[in-house]
Amino acid sequence: MNEILKEQFFVDDLSDDQKHVITNINSYIKQGLTGDTSSVAIIEGAAGTGKSVVLMELVRQYMTDRHYRTSLVVNHPELYKAYRDLAESIPNMKASEIRRPTSLINYAQKNHKTYDIIFVDEAHLLYSKSEPYAHYRGQNQLTDLMALAKVVVVVYDFDQVFQSKMYWDRDLLNKTIGGHPHKQFDMNFQYRMVASDEQVTWMDDLTAEKPLKPFPENSDFEFKMFDTAGALFETIKKRNKEVGMSRVVATSGFPRIDGRHNVEMDSFSLPWDEWDPQRTHWAKREGSITQVGTIYTLQGFDLNYVGMIIGPSFGYDKQSDTMTIIPEKYSHKEIFKKRKDMQFSRAEYKDFIANVLNVLMKRGKYGLYLTAYDDDLRQRLLELATTGE
């Protein structure tokens, strides 16, 4: 088994909080397996709370036991590759039982298959509308999965919603579940990062357009603000040689220059991440150190250190002393696709963009290196980092 993946998803020393959640979900699953209608266990928590660790411990318990008909689904292509990789090294677990949700739904409906338990990681990436381009012609993937299983265990983080076709909020989740039995299992403890609660709050406040403050220095989590992306990249390369799994990431909005759609800022110029049909996920590939990661390759994965370039769609308001979100400068148009069944306001689009930045900033276990494309925003963050005011 790949040691990096094992360390992230299968932890020998689970915390007491994680053990408590697993015990409670186990009881709920056993109860649901005897019911007459499908039930839903909802694991909810913010980025970095160890939701996938808890889910994978449950997966290891049930998907290696031939008494149960099970499947694990995830709509994130990089996570899908990682889970298939892990499955091949776990005794009695079949990689073929790990699928993308559209694949499982279409297969099960065609072949009249049903399941005892379906596990869904990153369930906020399930389609909540028809998506014929991706060969999904239903109306809601959670509805379809509930029709296939006695128990559906889903992992949700509403703050990781960033596309209209995968839009979820609490009201839509409750409406989708309807009268089916369900129970929520909250994970409100930070697991991934060594950062303090105050440091995590600083990241949340930044993306929530709250007044800027100095980054708290009350843990071993390393925070550095950089004047140039070039210097940030040099530091990330150094960290990557020392401890590995250190990458530069960015948000959308960088202009095309001479036909190139790279991330370009001062002396820094690198291409965006590239999808790879091979099984090795992006963060683990050696060549990805010379690419810029996005939400599409890193959501759900840990890095050791993350170098975050805040893109052109984020500015600075001197009067309110806040970082501002400018949807008009966000160039990745998937976020803005229209839906027939619901309308999105400018504020909701801003939330989508803020969620992308928030998730990317929290990829690093041990440190965050930060810079910003906007001159005023970068200078204000540098000022706070150097003078504290």
Q: How high is the pLDDT of residue 157?
A: 87
pLDDT band at 189 (very low <50, low <70, confident <90, very high): low
Question: Of 50-54, 62-66, 245-249, which range is least confident?
Answer: 50-54
Q: Which structure tokens are listed for 196?
A: 């303090």
Quick: pLDDT tens for 302-311.
899 999 999 9
What residues contact residue 111 under an 8 Å CB cut-off, 6+ apart? none
Q: Which residues contact 25 (CB under 8 A, 6 or more apart)?
A: 41, 43, 54, 58, 153, 185
Would you state the structure tokens that stand for residue 47, as one six-digit string? 């980025």
Q: At residue 1, does pLDDT exceed 60?
A: no
Q: Indicate if the pLDDT at residue 16 is higher than 90.
A: no
Looking at residue 3, its pLDDT comes to 55
Beta strand segments in the chain, E: 39-45, 70-74, 98-99, 115-121, 149-156, 182-187, 222-225, 246-250, 263-265, 268-270, 303-310, 314-317, 322-325, 364-372
pLDDT score at 221: 97
| Percent over 90 (pLDDT), the chain | 69
Kindly state the helix (H) or strand (E) to which residue 350 belongs, with its residue range.
helix 346-361
Interacting residues of 348 by C-beta distance below 8 A, sequence separation 6+: none
Is residue 105's pLDDT more than 70? yes
Give the range with max mean pLDDT: 21-30, 83-92, 281-290. 21-30
Give residue 115's pLDDT: 98
Per mean pLDDT, which range of 182-191, 338-347, 366-375 is the poorest?
182-191
The per-residue pLDDT for 334 is 79
Burial class (CB in 10 A: 0-12, 13-18, 19+), 371: buried
Taking residue 289's Cβ as centre, other Cβ atoms within 10 Å add up to: 17
Domains of the chain (ranges; CATH) run 3-187 (3.40.50.300), 197-387 (no CATH)
pLDDT at position 279 over 70: no
**What pTM value is reported for the model?**
0.84
